[in-house]
Structure 1
Amino acid sequence: MGEPRIREALDGVPEYRPGRPPNAADDRVPYKLSSNENPFPPLPGVLAAVQDAAGTINRYPDMGATELYAALSRHHQVPVTDLAAATGSVAVLYHLLQSTCESGDEVVYAWRSFEAYPIAVRLVGATPVEVPLTPTAEHDLDAMLAALTDRTRVVIVCTPNNPTGTAVDAEALAAFVAQVPEDVLVVVDEAYVEFAATPTGALELSRARDNVVVLRTFSKAYGLAGLRVGYAVAPARIATAVRKVALPFGVSALAQTAAVASLEAEKELLARVESLVAERDRTVSAVRDLGWSVPDAQANFFWLPTGERTTEVAEVFGRDGLSVRPFAGDGIRITVGEPEANNRVIEVLRRLAG
């Protein structure tokens, strides 16, 4: 007797590992700093809107995401036809690759970058081409251009980059895009863009070119990680293709409602982002003063290039009730949390530096 066949492509697909929850350390509050979650509760008006919408969960959500697309259209000043939503920006990326890549195609991205990229690429049968970051943990855009071949279908630029936190500025991104062949899709993953000091100009590039897609999410700055809603701003032809391959009714009614309500609370959003950026900068400055090397931090997290000490350092954080995100042999990503959590991060690193 045989057994059902599993696609051979899955043999090379790494398992996605989410950030671990913290373990309690004595009587102190544990903090989860491993998933880049927003420590603030939902924005004003969001919970009430979700509670009202909860009475309709016996019905399917609006598959066309009509109200969400209308709100995003107003927010970004783009046509509704240029939008495609899914369960988080990572799902939009999966749909993009499904609609553009086949076996033997190549997808170029920096490494280390978002750990879902190699998974998504291999799942569609394409080949990942990973271009090392610079010594300062930034995208090496010249090397990425040099990595493009006749088989390249997509190139991904993650800015700010997860997990290193560095960003690509507007001038560099525009120069990069101008050199990418027109038949290669440039995906600019801006999951953390609200926390960046300077804009990338990616939305303007998407309006001006037929091969630029921008990914955004409500999981980070907007604090809706538990509802899973992200979207792409893309040329209409690309957005239509993404919507074609998306799972029917993928974005729940509660998620759509919460996203629309969040867009209406922009003043409060900006205040929270400002608070988190201030905490990030305070924490990074203190950590650098202790002698630790931290690359330019433009997201709601920062990167410690701990190399071979990564596992050891992560375990020390764990014993202090802090879960961080280690990448064995490379470094540790630490989310900016409540001031109390950030103070404990500084104290742990002070002891380790001693």
Structure 2
Amino acid sequence: MSNDRQRAGGFADGSSVVVEELELRLASEDDHGWIHRLRHEVYARELGQHVPNAAGLLTDDLDGSNVYIVAARHGEPAGFISVTPPWVGRYSIDKYLRRHEHPALREDGLFEIRILAVDPSRRGELIGKLLMYAALRWVMAHGGRTIVALGRVELLPTYLALGLASTDTAVRSGSIEFQLLTGDVAELTDRTLRQHGALLRDLQRKVGWRLEVPFLPEDAFCAHGGASIEALGRGFDTLDAHRDVVPADVLDAWFPPAPAAVAALTDGQEWIARTSPPAQAGGLIEEIALRRGIPEAAVAVGAGSSDLIFRAFRGWLDASSRVLLIDPCYGEYAHVVERVIGCRADRFPLRREQGWRIDPERLARALREGYDLVVIVNPNNPTGVHLDAAELRKVLAGAPGGTRFWIDEAYIGYAGAGQSLEPYAAEADNAVICASLSKMYALSGLRAAYLTAPPAIAAELRSWTPPWAVSLPAQIAAVNALRDPAYYAAQWAQTAVLRAELAAALAATSEDLHVSESVANFVLLTLPRGGHGAAQLVERCRRRGVFLRDLSPSSPAFEGRAVRIAVRDATANARVVTAVAEALRVPLGMA
């Protein structure tokens, strides 16, 4: 992979090297000529992996599919690295190895890092390691979880120092011997930041970073939407500006809470603000049980779904647990399972060409592997596809013993009557239903949610719940909201109308766009291959005060081309359509 002959070790080996005027960016059409010449110079003439040719150019059949990241100083080429993403459908390693014979190559969604070359006059200047770091950041920004690479044997200490692991699988190409290397993207990132965070923060100020991903990861938490609220100021002193922003990056309701909920909060706001809530939220539990037709003993409440997820998963799982996650799905689950708890998570991949549908028969077969917990978001976020309750109930009933299901029904109200599995969960012994009151009931800012489970499991969760977990405003508003089902039914019906209008208007902006309505309160916009990327579209719309959600980091299945757009009111939706149309009219390569 690399020809950058630096000492084995991390970034610190070149920390004294000046990197001003060094720019890292995605390759343009104009870069391909020098890339092919440098490849020939390094891999044919210098290393002898290929036979030199008279043209002095080295190409292969993946050139049109690979992503090239280039480094240039003062405008002059200094080096490049290439990434083969999984949506290409093949890798360079396929020329040497059968993937099914190697455990490291069997995972879905692999990214291959290949062809790192640095101009001989620029070696030893950190360029090679910065290119590898840039490739890692690009992979993470596109949902990558695992990378593979063929690394030259003589440079193996360098790769191991960077956090890659050898599989002890040797490959020979021409006169060069390689080893198959692999790495977990999150672990590689964590290791790099732990060991070289100070240097990277210094380099951030000096390197011209032109990739559509931040130079440094923003934080150690799960990435969510919400840039729209952050844009109003961290100190909450510019909140009036929310009227100028279209927050279509989060799935908060476009409509207000039920009138009775608003009135209860408004009329008693001074008293509510200074008064402690009922410690165990008994009144809220009673109202939930009444409205849902389930026993109170089967209900546990929390300050939003995330509160329940963190408490339940940390109580049920440990590093030895096996979890199955739908992919793509709500990112908090992978974060808690893999980053907070540190256990193994397998993915059940959904396919774009199959309409992102969960195939019940394929899911039932996957369950034979044996899992402690299976997480299903239904309707799914961010694909917006719903699996009928009857089909899902069959999967649950036929699952191997000892399998527990966590069914997230945050948007089930949009799927229609009779689609919730809460009655099933209250009686069966293998399912827990998590239901948010935030999105469907326009109470996102108040944080209220509940789960339905067999009484023993619900009691367990209640025992792990601190007193006063759900605030008094949240309890009051939620109780009043639950008492007005007619109001919300009307709002959900109007959401469907607005959603259809938004989808049609977006589709009309370009015949190359693919717009899926979803079952819930958003649409999924997929950009054509070879055109604008999701990150670029989102950034251009943001400059117009319109915030959308780039889905690239959540799963490689989106190929960096998918944007989720929340349904807002008619006026805001019109602003979204205008912003998207204007952004797509800007030629590629322009800001």
TM-score, scaled relative to structure 1: 0.88
Residue 99 of structure 1 pairs with residue 320 of structure 2: no
> 2:522 aligned to 289, 298, 301, which one?
301
For the 8 Å contact 1:87–1:230, the answer to whether it is kept is: yes
Match of 1:337 among 553, 568, 571: 568
Alpha-carbon shift at residue 90 of structure 1 (Å): 2.1
2:288 aligned partner: 72
Q: Name the CA distance, whole Å, in 2 between partners of 1:172 and 1:252.
A: 37
Q: Deviations over 1:85-125 (max 9, x none)?
A: 00112221222212321221022111111010111213233
CA contact (8 A) 2:325 2:348 kept: yes
Tell whether 2:210 aligns with 1:210. Answer: no
Task: Measure the CA separation in 1 of the matches of 2:280 and 2:287.
Answer: 13
What letter is aligned with 2:522?
A: F
Deviation at 1:143, TM superposition (A): 4.2
| 5+ long unaligned stretches in structure 1 | 1-7
For 2:538, which of 314, 319, 329 is the aligned residue? Answer: 314
Decide whether the 8 Å contact of 1:105 with 1:151 is kept in 2.
no
Counterpart position of 2:140 = none
CA deviation after TM superposition for structure 1 residue 55, in Å: 1.1
Equivalent-residue separation in structure 2 for 1:142 and 1:134 (angstroms): 15
Give 1:162's aligned residue. 381
- 1:247 corresponds to which residue? 466
- Counterparts of 2:367 and 2:474 in 1: how far apart (Å)? 37
Report the secondary structure of 1:103's partner residue: coil
Q: Give the alignment of 1:90-169 within 5 angstroms.
A: 90-122=306-338, 123-135=340-352, 136-148=355-367, 152-169=371-388
1:104–1:279 Cα change, 3 Å: same
Distance in 2, matches of 1:46 and 1:84, equals 21
In structure 1, what is the Cα distance between the partners aligned to 2:320 and 2:309? 18
Deviations 1:142-174 (A, max 9, x none): 444444366621111101111111111123212
- How far off is 1:310 after superposition? 0.8
Q: Could you list the per-position Cα deviations for residues 246-275 of structure 1 after superposition, in whole angstroms to 9, with x for gaps in the alignment?
A: 233211111111100111122211111111
1:28-67 superposed matches below 5 A: 29-51=244-266, 52=268, 54-67=270-283
Deviates more, 1:117-126 or 1:261-270: 117-126
Q: CA RMSD in A?
A: 2.6
Structure 1 residues 313-337: Cα deviation after superposition (integer angstroms, max 9, x where no partner): 1122213220011123252111000
The aligned amino acid for 1:134 is R
Q: Residues 206-265 of structure 1: CA distance to partner in whole angstroms, max 9, x if unpaired?
A: 144211111111111211101101000111011111112223321111111110011112
The aligned amino acid for 1:335 is A
Moved more, 262-271 or 140-149: 140-149
Q: Are 2:223 and 1:17 aligned?
A: yes
Query: Contact conserved, 1:82 with 1:239, CA < 8 A, in 2?
Result: yes
Residue identity in the other structure for 1:33: A
- SS of 1:152's partner is coil
Structure 2: which amino acid aligns with 1:89? S
Residue 154 of structure 1 contacts residue 187 of structure 1 at CA under 8 Å; is this kept in 2? yes
C-alpha distance in 1, partners of 2:408/2:563? Answer: 21
Matched, 1:228 2:447: yes
Higher mean alpha-carbon deviation, 182-191 vs 119-128, is at: 119-128
**1:344 shift after superposition:** 2.3
Residue 197 of structure 1 deviates from its aligned partner by 4.5
- Report the Cα offset of residue 353 of structure 1: 6.2
Give, in angstroms, the shift of residue 41 of structure 1: 2.2
Is the counterpart of residue 269 in structure 1 residue 269 in structure 2? Answer: no
Structure 1 letter corresponding to 2:394: A
For 1:154-193, list aligned pairs within 5 A.
154-193=373-412
Letter in 1 for 2:379: P
Q: Confirm or deny: 8 A CA contact 2:280 2:467 kept in the other structure.
A: no
d(CA) in 2 for partners of 1:322, 1:284: 16
The answer (yes or no) to whether the contact 2:441–2:481 under 8 Å persists in 1 is yes
Distance 2:307 2:372 in 1: 18
Query: 1:201, CA displacement in angstroms?
Result: 4.1
Distance (Å, rounded) in 1 between the aligned partners of 2:314 and 2:269: 32
Could you tell me how far apart the structure 1 residues matched to 2:360 and 2:533 are?
29
Alignment deviations for residues 49-107 of structure 1 (CA, whole Å, 9 cap, x no partner):
22426515444321221110111111001111000100112221222212321221022
Conservation of the 8 A alpha-carbon contact between 1:152 and 1:184:
yes
Q: Is the 8 A contact 2:426 2:455 kept in 1?
A: no
Opposite residue 257 of structure 2, the aligned amino acid is P
The alignment partner of 2:425 has SS state of: helix
* Contact 1:169-1:198 at 8 Å conserved across structures: no
> In structure 2, do the counterparts of structure 1 residues 145 and 84 end up closer, same or farther at CA, with 3 Å as the change threshold?
same
Taking structure 1 as reference, are residues 266 and 335 closer, same or farther at Cα in structure 2, changes over 3 Å only?
A: same
> Which whole-Å CA distance do the structure 2 matches of 1:119 and 1:54 have between them?
38
Could you tell me whether the CA contact under 8 Å between 2:518 and 2:524 is conserved in 1? yes
Quick one: percent identity of the two aligned structures?
26
Which structure has the larger Rg over C-alpha atoms? 2
Distance 1:60 1:127, change over 3 A: farther
Question: Using the alignment, how far apart are the partners of 1:198 and 1:332 within structure 2?
Answer: 29
Kept in 2, the 8 Å contact 1:97–1:121? The answer is yes
Secondary structure of 1:213's counterpart equals strand
What is the CA-CA distance between 1:48 and the residue it aligns to? Answer: 2.6
Displacement of 1:45 in angstroms is: 1.4
Q: Distance in 2 between matches of 1:11 and 1:160?
A: 33
Specify the code of the residue in structure 2 equivalent to 1:196.
Answer: A
Distance, in Å, in 2 between the alignment partners of 1:296 and 1:131 is 23
Amino acid aligned to 2:309:
L
Partner residue of 1:4? none
For 1:83, give the aligned amino acid: V
Kept after mapping to 2: 8 A contact 1:132/1:140 = no
Distance 1:288 1:117 in 2: 31
> What is the Cα deviation at residue 348 of structure 1?
3.6
Letter of the structure 2 residue corresponding to residue 302 of structure 1 = V
1:137, 1:295 within 8 Å by CA — same for their partners in 2? Answer: no
Deviates most, 186-195 or 243-252: 243-252
